[in-house]
Amino acid sequence: MFGLLGTFLALFALAQTPPASCVAGQITPPVTEGPFYKAGSPQRTSLLEPGMAGTKLTITGQVFTRGCRPVAGAWLDFWQADAQGKYDNAGYRLRGHQVTDGTARYTLLTVMPGEYPGRTPHIHVKVRAPNGPVLTTQLYFPGARQNQGDMLFRQELLLQIRDTAAGKAGTFNFVLDSE
Ligand code: FE
């Protein structure tokens, strides 16, 4: 009886473990902010709006210190182009910030960003541990045809992507240069 419960709990724990992991000291590299950041985005985990075009994308992951300590309450601010490659610079469409939960996890519901001239598809993000420095970087998509021709592309910033019934699911764990 106890053994069965133990097995069940172990399986449950396994199901909860994110596929990507943290490697101590392997700090997530920065990438330039670009011209379209706007401070003051709304706090929300879903950037989806009724009628929004594009393939749905859910990104999940955790935020760690450089020693792989999970960071609860880390601030993440996402911004991206829409499926047509356009940024909303007048309002806050496809912009939003959130904080990690008690197990350092975040979830972002959005759409796949489109290409715009000179850039491979990407999602911009700023991440900060409480009282830590801000990491400004970008996330990329495996197999995107413009990755290799984009000067800002970095292999270490590739999402792990899989197809789901609803669209695409991606994972990415951030490792901050924080204690
Ligand atoms: Fe951009």
Is the pLDDT assigned to residue 11 strictly greater than 90?
no
How many angstroms separate the alpha carbon of residue 74 from the centre of ligand 1? 22
129 within 8 A of 65, measured Cβ to Cβ: yes
How many angstroms separate the alpha carbon of residue 22 from the centre of ligand 1? 26
How many angstroms separate the alpha carbon of residue 95 from the centre of ligand 1? 12
Hey, what amino acid is at 70? P
Q: Which CATH number fits domain 2-176: 2.40.50.100, 2.60.130.10, 3.50.50.60, 3.40.190.10?
A: 2.60.130.10
How many angstroms separate the alpha carbon of residue 120 from the centre of ligand 1? 9
Phi, psi of 165 (to 5 degrees): -60, -30
- Express each pLDDT in 12-28 by its tens digit: 554 554 444 899 999 99
What is d(CA 125, CA 157) in angstroms, rounded to the nearest whole number? 11
How many angstroms separate the alpha carbon of residue 36 from the centre of ligand 1? 7
How many angstroms separate the alpha carbon of residue 2 from the centre of ligand 1? 53
- Express each pLDDT in 129-179 by its tens digit: 998 999 999 999 999 999 999 999 999 999 999 999 999 999 999 999 999
Is the pLDDT assigned to residue 64 strictly greater than 80?
yes
What is d(CA 149, CA 146) in angstroms, rounded to the nearest whole number? 5
91 within 8 A of 29, measured Cβ to Cβ: no
How many angstroms separate the alpha carbon of residue 35 from the centre of ligand 1? 8
Closest CA to 160 of 147, 176, 173, 146: 173
* pTM greater than the 0.85 cutoff: yes
